[in-house]
Amino acid sequence: MKKATPKATGSDAPVDDVILEASSLRLGYNSRPVLDRVDIRVRSGEFWFLIGPNGHGKTTLLLGMLGQLRPAGGRLVRQGDFARPNRIGFVPQECRTNPTLPTTVREFVSLGLVGIRASRAERVDRLSWALGAVGLGGMEDRDFWSLSGGQRQRALVARALIRRPRILVADEPASGLDLSVETALYQSLAELNRTELLTVILVTHDLAVAARYGTHLALVHDGGVEAGTIREILQPGRLAQAYRVPIEVSPEPSGSVSVRLG
């Protein structure tokens, strides 16, 4: 059983600005459809999780939201911060840097500044801030490949954050991390969402994590997407239909939520 505390951060943010809206959106590859009937609206300052069974299109939806996958039909409007590439930070599932190339943490994270105009002093400040945000402060001179897997994953997040984005988009950023490292990473992102009104959109397979930190969910399954607030989507019947196993969602007096599968 996993327990998660419903997230209050972000709920007090000014979220009147719609930055992404999809209506009857259809996404796929070549002539192969993957998602249809997608209706979703994202406002500035929200914390979204994309959840659902493996292989049902979470990454496809993410690529469509980023504009990296052309819609096969329907309507997709990206505006405000979503229409400005320099306002978006993206964290892929894994690092594709050549491990044979000597690379310091400073060099790796600073790759996130490509296309960003910044003075030398500002670059130093951005680097220090990004590393501190993910718990890697003071490690800029370390060899990137000498870091643990968890530290390299956090450096990936720092590479996105060094852009000082208004939107952070990530495809399972905690994949392969130890529980303590995963918790620290999500807490850092939740703090940025709360204090800097950073809009966050993450793919995850962990329902408890989504329930604890998210304000909104997009449940991707069977060629469609059900999107809404945590309370709207985190319903046992809705989840059981998507995952095809019994799922129990139990509120507790402390305000936490227990999520149990099977």
* Chain centroid, CA 95 distance in Å: 16
- pTM exceeds cut of 0.75: yes
Given a cut of 60, is residue 6 above it in pLDDT? no
Q: pLDDT tens, 34-81?
A: 999 899 999 999 999 999 999 999 999 999 999 999 999 999 999 999
Question: Given this model, what pLDDT does residue 262 score?
Answer: 65
Pick the residue with more confidence: 219 or 175? 219
Question: Given this model, what pLDDT does residue 86 score?
Answer: 87
Q: What's at 131, amino acid-wise?
A: L
The residues near 85 (Cβ < 8 Å, ≥ 6 apart) are 115
10 Å Cβ neighbour count for 225?
25
Q: pLDDT tens, 139-169?
A: 999 999 999 888 888 899 999 999 999 999 9
Q: Phi/psi of residue 164, each to 5°? A: 50, 55
Question: Given this model, what pLDDT does residue 208 score?
Answer: 87
**Domains of the chain listed by start with CATH number:** 2-261 (3.40.50.300)
Question: Given this model, what pLDDT does residue 61 score?
Answer: 96
118-147: average pLDDT: 94
